[in-house]
């Protein structure tokens, strides 16, 4: 059997794209996954281009892979960096056999045997393409509900790598989840760049369904117990959607609300479409009507023109919302974005010290949040066997749990009492 080594960088959409590529390859001939590069017949690097660092590392990585790979093994570069650099990847690194953009991964079986094939059309519409079945974890599944992005945030390269937004027909989504449930998945993660913009753009005019309606349809699937989604956009968090989030018992009470900046003037220059007040209002509403919900966020510091006052607005939102999880980044100027040409670029030193300040304060908040978990009881869905007789899973509000246990716990939801806390995870014992 041929062996496949696949490295996946970036976000959950890329993780799902890798699963889709594995499924497509297997539909042609069976591949065994390997962690050993030297053993692989096919090597795929599924790339991310949202920040500069991983992109610059790509070419040195290709060099290393080329040195250690088997003589006839093929190397493919896929994903967002493939979309934006296209044929230049092969010009710079002729050892690469094929380049497949994030919007073109359904063509994987067509390119693997063509030397120097490049497929990077960002307008390619495979929103109705029926990918084969493959998932890394049998107890949960990831399902795309839309592809691409219809926003033009001035810092973001994604519209140039994943193209315009198109929603996947709701009946296909429901069919895919129903199949996953039949094979052991009690939990689904719905994926899209802006999930709560679902239904704005379909390929066919006859489709009509918004995100709240989609959630209602999905929650009718028998045997499905937990629904998660990422990422919603704060701009589209209307009251109808929040009501569904609070009241639907199958929807996990964990929500990602990407802030990016707490300064209204910076948000304007980022073209985010909301103000600091709107963001705070949405989070206050979540905290008030659903106190058990956890809120995570993304923040960029050092965006062009960010003054000390702008940064203080971001710190202020952090104090007020007390996010349970923070993903924070130094601004990175990206090709195909308007912000890359803005004046007032912020020095790396200033951005670095702001990032440190933000992360330090968040760590203090997180320690307080996690310490308060001691003795609490959560419903945990166990989905992974760990070394040393342990099993891991997530609580409804998204916290990572470890308990002593074995295979019998997998696929089950159990009440767990927290016995030990730490920043990243909780330990507990089963609670009768």
Residues lying near ligand 5AD in the complex (CB under 6 A): 50-51, 155-156, 258, 260, 298, 300, 329, 331-332, 334
Give the nearest residue (CB) to ligand 5AD: 298
Answer for the pair 257, 297: CB distance below 8 angstroms, yes or no.
yes
Q: How far is the CB of 79 from ligand SF4 (least distance, A)?
A: 6
Q: Which stretch binds ligand SF4 (CB under 6 A): 42-50, 231-239, 300-308, 383-391?
A: 42-50
Burial of 122 (0-12, 13-18, 19+ CB in 10 A): middle
Neighbouring C-beta atoms of residue 100, cutoff 10 Å: 27
Q: Which is nearer to ligand 5AD, 287 or 330 (CB)?
A: 330
Cα–Cα dist 242/168, whole Å: 22
Q: How far is the CB of 8 from ligand SF4 (least distance, A)?
A: 9
Residue 80 binding: pick among ligand 5AD, ligand SF4, none (C-beta 5-8 Å cut-off by kind): ligand SF4
Q: Which is nearer to ligand 5AD, 156 or 185 (CB)?
A: 156
Task: Report whether the peptide linkage leading into residue 231 is cis, meaning its omega lies within 30 degrees of zero.
Answer: yes
235 lies in the binding site for ligand SF4 (CB under 6 A): no
Q: How far is the CB of 153 from ligand 5AD (least distance, A)?
A: 7
Answer for the pair 328, 352: CB distance below 8 angstroms, yes or no.
no
Residue 10 binding: pick among ligand 5AD, ligand SF4, none (C-beta 5-8 Å cut-off by kind): ligand SF4
228 lies in the binding site for ligand SF4 (CB under 6 A): no
Cα–Cα dist 427/421, whole Å: 6
Cα–Cα dist 338/270, whole Å: 9
Q: How far is the CB of 328 from ligand 5AD (least distance, A)?
A: 8
Cα–Cα dist 210/194, whole Å: 12
Q: How far is the CB of 359 from ligand SF4 (least distance, A)?
A: 20
The residue written with tokens 């470890």 in the block is 402
Q: How far is the CB of 51 from ligand SF4 (least distance, A)?
A: 8
189 lies in the binding site for ligand SF4 (CB under 6 A): no
Q: Which is nearer to ligand 5AD, 89 or 326 (CB)?
A: 326
Q: How far is the CB of 63 from ligand 5AD (least distance, A)?
A: 26
Q: Which is nearer to ligand SF4, 186 or 256 (CB)?
A: 256
Among 4, 6, 13, 299, binds ligand SF4 (CB under 6 A): 13
Among 6, 44, 45, 48, binds ligand SF4 (CB under 6 A): 48
328 lies in the binding site for ligand SF4 (CB under 6 A): no
Among 104, 106, 161, 196, binds ligand SF4 (CB under 6 A): 161
Q: How far is the CB of 158 from ligand SF4 (least distance, A)?
A: 5
Residue 155 binding: pick among ligand 5AD, ligand SF4, none (C-beta 5-8 Å cut-off by kind): ligand 5AD
Distance of alpha carbon 125 from the chain centroid: 21
Among 158, 237, 366, 391, binds ligand SF4 (CB under 6 A): 158
In 3D space, the residue among 16, 47, 310, 231 whose CA is nearest the CA of residue 157 turns out to be 47
Cα–Cα dist 112/74, whole Å: 8
How many amino acids of this chain bind ligand SF4 (CB under 6 A)?
13
DSSP state string for 156-190 = --HHHHH-S-EEPPHHHHHHHHHHHHHTT--EEEE
Cα–Cα dist 283/278, whole Å: 9
Of residues 66 through 105, those in contact with ligand SF4 by CB under 6 A are 79-80, 102
Ramachandran category for residue 44: left, alpha or beta (phi over 0 → left; psi -120 to 50 → alpha): beta
Q: How far is the CB of 395 from ligand 5AD (least distance, A)?
A: 24
Residue 334 binding: pick among ligand 5AD, ligand SF4, none (C-beta 5-8 Å cut-off by kind): ligand 5AD
Cα–Cα dist 14/105, whole Å: 10
Cβ partners under 8 Å of residue 103, min gap 6: 83, 120, 121, 122, 123, 124, 126, 147, 148, 161, 162, 163
366 lies in the binding site for ligand SF4 (CB under 6 A): no
Cross-strand bridge partners of residue 429: 417
Residue 162 binding: pick among ligand SF4, ligand 5AD, none (C-beta 5-8 Å cut-off by kind): ligand SF4
Among 50, 93, 142, 177, binds ligand SF4 (CB under 6 A): 50
CA angle, residues 429, 412, 171, in degrees to nearest 5: 145
Burial of 279 (0-12, 13-18, 19+ CB in 10 A): buried
Residues that bind ligand SF4 (CB under 6 A): 10-11, 13-14, 48-50, 79-80, 102, 158, 161-162
């Amino acid at each position: 059997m041929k062996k496949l080594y696949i490295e996946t960088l970036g976000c959950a959409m890329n993780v799902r794209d890798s699963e889709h590529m594995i499924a497509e390859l297997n539909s042609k001939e069976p591949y065994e996954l390997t962690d050993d590069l030297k053993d692989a017949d096919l090597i795929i690097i599924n790339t991310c281009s949202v920040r500069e660092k991983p992109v610059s590392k790509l070419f040195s990585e290709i060099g290393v892979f080329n040195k250690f790979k088997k003589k006839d093994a093929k190397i493919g570069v896929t994903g967002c960096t493939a979309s934006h650099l296209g044929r230049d990847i092969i010009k710079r690194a002729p050892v690469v056999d094929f380049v497949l953009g994030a919007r073109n991964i359904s063509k994987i079986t067509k390119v693997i045997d063509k030397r120097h094939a490049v497929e990077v059309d960002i307008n390619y519409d495979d929103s109705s393409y029926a990918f084969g079945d493959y998932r890394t974890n049998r107890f949960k599944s990831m399902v795309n509900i839309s592809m691409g992005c219809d926003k033009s945030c001035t810092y973001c390269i994604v519209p140039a790598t994943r193209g315009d937004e198109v929603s996947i027909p709701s009946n296909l989504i429901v069919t895919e989840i129903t199949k996953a449930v039949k094979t052991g998945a009690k939990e689904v993660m719905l994926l899209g760049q802006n999930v709560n913009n679902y239904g704005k753009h379909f390929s066919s005019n006859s489709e009509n369904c918004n995100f709240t309606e989609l959630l209602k349809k999905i929650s009718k699937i028998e045997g499905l117990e937990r629904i998660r989604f990422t990422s919603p956009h704060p701009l589209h968090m209307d009251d109808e959607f929040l009501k569904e989030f609070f009241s639907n018992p199958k929807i996990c009470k964990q929500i990602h609300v990407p802030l990016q900046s707490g300064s209204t003037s910076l948000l304007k220059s980022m073209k985010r479409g909301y103000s600091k007040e709107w963001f705070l209002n949405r989070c206050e509403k979540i905290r008030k009507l659903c106190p058990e919900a956890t809120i995570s966020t993304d923040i960029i510091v050092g965006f062009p023109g960010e003054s000390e006052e702008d940064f203080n607005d971001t710190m202020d939102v952090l104090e007020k919302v007390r996010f349970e999880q923070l993903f924070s980044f130094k601004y990175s100027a990206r090709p195909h974005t308007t912000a890359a040409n803005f004046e007032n670029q912020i020095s790396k030193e200033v951005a670095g010290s702001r990032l440190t300040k933000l992360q330090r304060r968040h760590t203090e908040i997180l320690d307080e949040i996690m310490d308060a978990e001691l003795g609490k009881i959560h419903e945990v869905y166990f989905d992974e066997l760990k070394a040393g007789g342990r099993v891991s899973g997530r609580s409804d509000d998204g916290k990572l749990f470890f308990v002593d246990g074995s295979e019998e716990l997998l696929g089950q939801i159990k009440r767990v009492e927290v016995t030990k806390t730490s920043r990243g995870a909780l330990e507990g014992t089963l609670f009768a």
